[in-house]
Structure 1
Amino acid sequence: MIAFPKLQPSKLLERLESPKGPIRMVLDTDTYNEIDDQFAVVYAMKSQAKLKVEAFYAAPFYNERSSGPKDGMEKSYEELRRIAGLMPEMKDIPILRGSEAYLSDFIQPVESAAARDLVERAMASGENDPLYVVSIGAITNVASALMMEPRIVDKIVIVWLGGHSLEWDDTTEFNLKQDYFASKLVLDCGVPLVLVPCMGVTSHLVTTLSEMEDYVKDNGPIGRYLYDTFKECHNDHFAYSRVIWDISTIAFLNDDRWTPSSLVHSPVLSTDFRWSRDTSRHWIRYVKYIHRDSVFRDLFSKLKESDPEK
């Protein structure tokens, strides 16, 4: 593995403190993969009092909605552009293509406009003004940027929706398992990391079509788009709820009281996608619970407040 600078323990702990004031951030997202990334993009843009989004990066994904990582990235790129067409707030924010493949080892990064842009923005960060890198997909773009320029370990804080809770039987989670090398590199390299697990933590973030009808649908074109996206994701909404995982990362940055967390030693990721513990490893911040109602109240309120007709 590439040699990364080692932060002084005091500086690492400082970077893992709850963020205060306006936060510079970029959002790395596999936007077309499911329906939750769209909500996270909108939530970030509706939180401009706290969050200053500088760029969007399209992340790769490969499942039934794509023919491979490159196709998934391209579809995510187009989805970001589609959302931007509905949100005037996104007009001047760059949307960049990310990795066309996953990492194949711990040495060679995957070239992309997104990774290069991340390096440039991170290196321009001041000593007390780190760039928050919010990743809600496979973390290939971010890991590639770290490999391209290891010094950005000292310039960024990663907030990643990845893996399952440390108590879960396995951590075979979609974001994490797609790119083993990228996931392990981010966990091992010592970069300040806020880990937001899926099952057992953000799995609390469920909502229903009824809530979409009451609190989302009538809030302008983007509200209608989110509603339609949610409605079309399932054939039968009777007694059906769906997890909107990705808004957890934005909620953490907005108000960490909604996402209780603690410091833990960075877990070890095995090749069969299980967690193990090693108390000699560096600290990360680990989100261990989500106050579901507070998060959705904030999202729904911001959608309503931002609609000029309300």
Structure 2
Amino acid sequence: MEETQRIRMLQCPGHPVDVVIDTDTYNEVDDQFALAYLLGNTDRLRLQAIYAAPFLNEKADSPKEGMEKSYQEILKLLDLAGASQYRDRVFKGAEHFLKDAVSPAVSEASEDLVCRAMAHSAEDPLYVIGIAAATNIASAILKRPEIAERMVVVWLGGSAFHCEEMEEFNLIEDVAAARILFNSGVPLVQLPCWGVVERFSISRPELEKYFTGKNPLAEYVAGYAIQDVEEWAAGLAWAKVIWDVTAVAWLLNDDQRFMNDRLVPCPEIAGASGYVFSEGRHTMRYVYRIERDALMTDMIQTICQL
């Protein structure tokens, strides 16, 4: 792909576009907010499919279990939102992380992504919102590298360039997948977690004030977040980062109203040790600042009107 074409594709779309979302929904509370925010913006973001991504932590004994729990959580959220029309567009993702940089993790999700991306073009790309380890997305690219010229990936992961280390969940879960994403040449928008997106947090009083009693989905996402955080922060004043909302919001970022970004040479991923910057690398878009209050206001209004 020529740089001029990549840069054109990296502009925030100011019109309705086709999107898919790749999410480890059961992993943390922020995926629920992101999916709810997306469901409230389907006039601009035409939701084509939802992919359940693998994850591994105290909530899941294996990546497969994490993916299966995420799949069930997606269906639950769709029911709460009264959006059952999307149930047949939910696909199970990989059961394991990538074993190397050449072998895809075959799944329904990666197969569907290949098919949908191939139906698009550089002039009318598919937008892929990645808010999990990049396993499913990287697997699709490994299977059909040409899809990198037919889609734009908006990925929440890694740390800001000025951070000293890369100990961030979405990246560390599958470093091989992140490396493939950054090396493939796909038009990539990165929303770094530590150092940038961590600014986007919400407190218990805000959750209770703005979401309680509004609708079943709003009630659920707020109650789930409060219960989850109170398990480790009971009695403390706290604010919870809801990272994943920002990846959806980038596609609605007309006139930089929710965040600021810039075009930069795409670095290589060196794992936990950081990035490798070198000359001659292709261009990506890098988000460096979140307008917390503007985005928070829009997210609250959108979810509460579902």
- Shorter-chain TM range is over 0.9
> How far apart, in 1, do the equivalents of 2:57 and 2:42 lie?
33
CA contact (8 A) 1:209 1:237 kept: no
> How far apart, in 2, do the equivalents of 1:280 and 1:222 lie?
47
Which residues of 2 match residues 124-273 of structure 1 at below 5 A? Answer: 124-235=119-230, 236=234, 238-256=236-254, 257=256, 258-273=258-273
- Residue of structure 2 aligned with 1:52, choices 39, 42, 46: 46
One-letter amino acid matched to 2:21: L
Say which SS state the counterpart of residue 124 (structure 2) adopts: coil
- Residue of structure 2 aligned with 1:42, choices 19, 36, 42: 36
Look up the match of 1:96.
91
Per-residue CA distance 1:248-287 (angstroms, 9 max, x = gap): 1111111251110001111121144411211310000000
> How far apart, in 1, do the equivalents of 2:97 and 2:26 lie?
17
**Alignment TM-score, normalising by the size of structure 2:** 0.95
> How far apart, in 1, do the equivalents of 2:71 and 2:279 lie?
39
CA contact (8 A) 1:162 1:197 kept: yes
Bigger drift between 9-18 and 135-144 goes to: 9-18
> How far apart, in 2, do the equivalents of 1:304 and 1:99 lie?
33
Say which SS state the counterpart of residue 92 (structure 1) adopts: helix
> How far apart, in 2, do the equivalents of 1:303 and 1:16 lie?
27
**Coordinate RMSD, CA, aligned:** 1.2
CA contact (8 A) 2:122 2:151 kept: no
Look up the match of 1:3.
none
> How far apart, in 2, do the equivalents of 1:133 and 1:170 lie?
26
> How far apart, in 1, do the equivalents of 2:213 and 2:251 lie?
26
> How far apart, in 1, do the equivalents of 2:115 and 2:162 lie?
37
Bigger drift between 155-164 and 277-286 goes to: 277-286
CA contact (8 A) 1:177 1:273 kept: no
Which residues of 2 match residues 55-134 of structure 1 at below 5 A? Answer: 55-93=49-87, 94-134=89-129
Look up the match of 2:2.
8
> How far apart, in 2, do the equivalents of 1:128 and 1:20 lie?
14
Q: Which runs of 5+ in 2 are unaligned?
A: none
> How far apart, in 1, do the equivalents of 2:235 and 2:76 lie?
26
Say which SS state the counterpart of residue 175 (structure 1) adopts: helix
Per-residue CA distance 1:23-74 (angstroms, 9 max, x = gap): 2100000000000000000000001221111100000000011001111000
1:116 positional shift: 0.2
Identical counterparts, % of pairs:
37
Say which SS state the counterpart of residue 289 (structure 1) adopts: strand
> How far apart, in 1, do the equivalents of 2:43 and 2:299 lie?
13
One-letter amino acid matched to 2:156: L
- Relative distance call for 1:188 and 1:241 in structure 2 (3 A) is same
CA contact (8 A) 2:12 2:252 kept: no
Q: Which runs of 4+ in 1 moved over 2 A?
A: 89-93, 303-306
**Alignment TM-score, normalising by the size of structure 1:** 0.94
1:215 positional shift: 1.0
CA contact (8 A) 1:266 1:282 kept: yes
Q: Which runs of 5+ in 1 are unaligned?
A: 1-6
One-letter amino acid matched to 1:67: D
> How far apart, in 2, do the equivalents of 1:179 and 1:303 lie?
31
Per-residue CA distance 1:213-240 (angstroms, 9 max, x = gap): 1111222110110111011012226411
One-letter amino acid matched to 2:242: I
Per-residue CA distance 1:119-152 (angstroms, 9 max, x = gap): 0000011442100000000000000000111110
- Relative distance call for 1:216 and 1:189 in structure 2 (3 A) is same
Per-residue CA distance 1:270-308 (angstroms, 9 max, x = gap): 1444112113100000000000001110011112333xx
> How far apart, in 2, do the equivalents of 1:36 and 1:104 lie?
27
Say which SS state the counterpart of residue 85 (structure 1) adopts: helix
1:85 positional shift: 1.4
One-letter amino acid matched to 1:293: D
